[in-house]
Amino acid sequence: MFSPLVLAAEKGFDYGDMLFYMVAFVLLMWLVKIFAWKPVTKMMNDRATKIADDIDSAEKSRADAETLAAQRQDALSNSHQEAATIVADAKDAGSKQREQIITNAQTDAQKLREAASADIEQQRQDALVSARKDVADLSIEIASKIIHKQLNADDQTALIDSYIEGLGKDDQTR
């Protein structure tokens, strides 16, 4: 098993090979470091960082999306409520307006009725007044016609006298 080793020892131990291997290995390690190890491990670390960042940002955007969805849900339910309020308000306003209109109409009707009855009363008064006047005129005419026919000189004198007498009494009392 050790024969190559013993053989080597007989010829002088292969320090040269050992030295050559060590130099080659250190040199190889250095070359690997420059050409592959550094760029690849750097890229692997960068990628790990990037993936971690991506996961974080994905987490964040998911949370954002959830917040937005919640906000939208709130807004939706709020808008339902708002719509209900608006409809209720409109109903209220409508009924109030209706009441108002009815009241106005009633007031107007009342006023019209009052005006109409006042007119009627006025016309009745006017008619009454004019009728009275007519009756007076008519009666005076009738009276004058009667008086004209029946009044003679004596009677006329007596009438004038009584009238003057009456005037005198009226002055005294006044």
Residue 130, token pair as written in the block: 């004019």
Residue 122, token pair as written in the block: 């006025």
Closer Cβ to another protein, 13 or 163, answer by number: 13
Told to check if 2 binds another protein by CB under 8 A, we report: yes
Phi and psi of 170, rounded to 5°?
Answer: -60, -40
Residue span binding another protein (CB under 8 A) among the ranges 10-18, 79-87, 118-126, 139-147: 10-18
Pairwise CA distance, residues 116 & 118, whole Å: 5
Q: Of residues 23-52, which lie at the interface with another protein (CB under 8 A)? A: 24-25, 27-29, 31-33, 35-37, 39-41, 43-44, 46-47, 50
Site map (CB under 8 A) of another protein, residues 46-85, x = contact:
xx--x-----------------------------------
Nearest approach, Cβ of 62 to another protein (angstroms)? 23
SS3 content of the chain, % helix, strand, coil (to 5): 95, 0, 5
DSSP assigned state of 151: -
Q: Please answer whether residues 159 and 151 qualify as being in contact, where contact means their C-beta atoms are separated by less than 8 angstroms.
A: yes
Q: Which residues bind another protein (CB under 8 A)?
A: 1-2, 4-5, 8, 11-22, 24-25, 27-29, 31-33, 35-37, 39-41, 43-44, 46-47, 50
